[in-house]
Amino acid sequence: MSARRSVTPPAEPVGGWRRAFVLGALGVGACVVFGRAFQLQVIDQDFLAAEGSKRFIRNVVIPAHRGAIVDRRGEPLALSAPVESLWAVPQALLDSPQHVEAVAKLLGRRPAEFRKFLEARTERKFVYISDPLSPAEAKRVLSLGAPGVFSDPAYARYYPAGEVAGQIVGFCGRDGAGLEGIEKSQESVLRGKQGSRRVIRDRAGRIVEDNLEFAEAQSGEDVQLTIDLRIQYLAYRELKDAVIRHKAKGGSIVIADSATGDILAVASQPGFNPNNPGERKPPGTRNRAIVDSFEPGSTAKPLLVAQALELGLFQPTSTVDTGPGWFKVGALTVRDVHPGGVMDLAKILAKSSNVGAAKIGLTLGPEAVWSGFQRFGIAEPIYTGFPGEAGSVLRHYSEWGQIATATASYGYGWSVNALHMVRAYAALANDGLMPHLRLIRNTRPVPPQRAISANTAREVRHMLETVVAPGGSATRAAIHGYQVAGKTGTARKLSDTGVYDPNRHQALFVGMVPAERPRLVGLVVIDEPGDGGYYGGLVAAPVFSNVMQGAARLLQISPDGTDTPDLAPPDAPRLTVALPPETPASAPKAKAGAALVKVAEPRL
């Protein structure tokens, strides 16, 4: 050891700079490394993290479905179903001619025409080449393996009931938002909210982690209408038949459950098929029963008679002398079609005497006539939740003179929509309790209001039976096996110049079945019938009869109207089921409905 030490040459003095140089170089190196680390970790951190995420983190959209619209029995009226929209990059597809031909064949287009279509768009990178297809069809096209053909999944709205319920249900636009009808008014309920989640994907595209961020998709809720599709179909078919047979300009029909106020059918003509975008324009899309108003004409007379009885100024046996069938009120001459001399109230209704109604109205005075119509909710909106509901026009009685009072008494000078008339007659049908009309089942039931006393309602109903009985103005409204109560109306329409046109009419019939204890109320309006008469009793009454006959059969309404569960006391055994059984999904709503019935109990 000591020897080795002895051979070790004495250390030459080392220049101090070398030490400084090494340390300095190391220091610089460390600074560079540290600085680079600082740059990457602190300065560029956001950018780099984002770039990294881009390579494996994906946002995945969780689709939300739009809710369906169903009828009271759960039959779908509007449904969303998946579709595929095929699109192509024109140049890429044109580069392989045999594929162009095959794709054209599968899409049902002529190859030459399809080629031209693509050639006209070679500049573009994205062209839809088909209407939305079912997933199976789209798969067939894609399986050709044509270059530049892709598909986008989407949801399309279908309307299985087609034109039968088109005007109520409405339709959606291309972006999936409701544009008309219930689709529009219930948009916030139907619309779903798309969810999204962030996931980590591996190289093969499989999702390996998905616990990053998560927003749940909220599918739209279903909307259940009070419509019964079977009755809706029947009503639509009969209305369409009548409109065609009488070469009318249009028409509408409303059927409602008089006890609960549920609207079972609303249809109008001309109609449209919501599945066909080309037909989605007025006048077809116009739901005349709700958005159009009309002068009720003679159908207002029972309301006037009810008010006269209610005030005690007239009795059912009271008579009115209608004279020779005409009567002068100032400058106005009121005329009857069938002069009848001295008539009692029932006969005034049966013969639809304008003179009789005008005389009753003038005896009551403007205020009483006005408040009589008010009782039946003529001036109140219906609040069905349907967009564009027509308001009624009933001027205040202080603006009425003698002439206005007389004309208002037989239904001119004020206007309502079809639902107003149905609601008013539902009050007569439901022993004076006027129900709140509903079109949407999910809404909370509103208790009915008392319009008139039960006695008055029954008396007016008896009178209305004579309208349909032999000798009345609407014998064609009769239904085999049932007693019908109702009233015809033949209202002249205002011409463009503002006077009543003698050649343009609206034929109306409004009635209830069965007369003793009504369950259904219905209104039929035929607008400007051109062929085969224009009287309500000739044109509108047969439609009413056909529809109500079918509806009474479908709903199992017994001929005398007794034992219908909603009118029976709550503790009575349920003997017949008048309305179809609830679907399980709506069971809680049925309970709410039962609560309403208790209020509507007509034992007073």
Decide whether 335 or 553 has the Cβ nearer to other proteins: 553
- As a three-state string, the secondary structure of 364-402 is HCHHHHHHHHHHCCCCCCCCCCCCCCCCCECCCHHHCCH
- Any contact of residue 212 with other proteins (CB under 8 A)? no
Which of 26, 40, 120, 207 contacts other proteins by CB under 8 A? 207
For residue 173, the one-letter residue type is: G
Identified catalytic residue from 185, 293, 298, 473: 298
- Any long-range contacts for 450-453 (C-beta under 8 Å, 24+ apart)? 451/375, 451/376, 451/377, 451/424, 451/427, 452/306, 452/307, 452/310, 452/375, 452/427, 452/428, 453/310
Rounded Cα–Cα distance for residues 178 and 161 (Å): 17
- Any contact of residue 61 with other proteins (CB under 8 A)? no
- Any contact of residue 380 with other proteins (CB under 8 A)? no
- Any contact of residue 161 with other proteins (CB under 8 A)? yes
Which of 559, 580, 593, 602 contacts other proteins by CB under 8 A? 559
Rounded Cα–Cα distance for residues 349 and 587 (Å): 43
- Any contact of residue 152 with other proteins (CB under 8 A)? no
Helical (H) or strand (E) element with 433: strand 433-434
The helix/strand/coil state of 583 is: coil
Rounded Cα–Cα distance for residues 340 and 352 (Å): 10
Rounded Cα–Cα distance for residues 588 and 6 (Å): 108
| Radius of gyration (C-alpha) of the chain in whole angstroms | 37
Decide whether 444 or 480 has the Cβ nearer to other proteins: 480
Minimum separation from the CB atom of position 564 to other proteins (A): 12
Decide whether 80 or 260 has the Cβ nearer to other proteins: 80
Residues 107-146 that bind other proteins (CB under 8 A): 134-135
Decide whether 378 or 578 has the Cβ nearer to other proteins: 578
Rounded Cα–Cα distance for residues 547 and 242 (Å): 12
Which of 72, 115, 191, 230 contacts other proteins by CB under 8 A? 230
Residue 533 in contact with residue 272, Cβ under 8 Å? no
Q: Which stretch binds other proteins (CB under 8 A): 80-88, 369-377, 424-432, 460-468?
A: 80-88
- Any contact of residue 218 with other proteins (CB under 8 A)? no
Q: Which stretch binds other proteins (CB under 8 A): 329-337, 348-356, 556-564, 588-596?
A: 556-564
Q: Which stretch binds other proteins (CB under 8 A): 200-208, 286-294, 402-410, 530-538?
A: 200-208
Minimum separation from the CB atom of position 231 to other proteins (A): 10
* Number of residues counted as binding other proteins (CB under 8 A): 35
Instruction: Write the DSSP symbol of residue 58.
Output: E
Q: Let me know if 298 is a catalytic residue.
A: yes
Separation in Å, CA 109 to CA 90, 112, 115, 144, 147: 16, 9, 10, 16, 18
Q: Which stretch binds other proteins (CB under 8 A): 355-363, 405-413, 465-473, 572-580?
A: 572-580
- Any contact of residue 162 with other proteins (CB under 8 A)? yes
- As a three-state string, the secondary structure of 278-338 is HHCCCCCCCCHHHHCEECCHHHHHHHHHHHHHHCCCCCCCCEEECCCCEEEECCEEEECCC
Decide whether 322 or 564 has the Cβ nearer to other proteins: 564
Minimum separation from the CB atom of position 151 to other proteins (A): 14
Decide whether 475 or 558 has the Cβ nearer to other proteins: 558
Q: Which stretch binds other proteins (CB under 8 A): 96-104, 228-236, 242-250, 442-450?
A: 228-236
User: Residues in the site for other proteins, rule: CB under 8 A?
Assistant: 63, 65, 75-76, 79-82, 134-135, 158, 160-162, 164, 206-210, 229-230, 233-234, 237, 480-481, 550, 558-559, 563, 572-573, 575-576
Q: Which positions are catalytic? A: 298
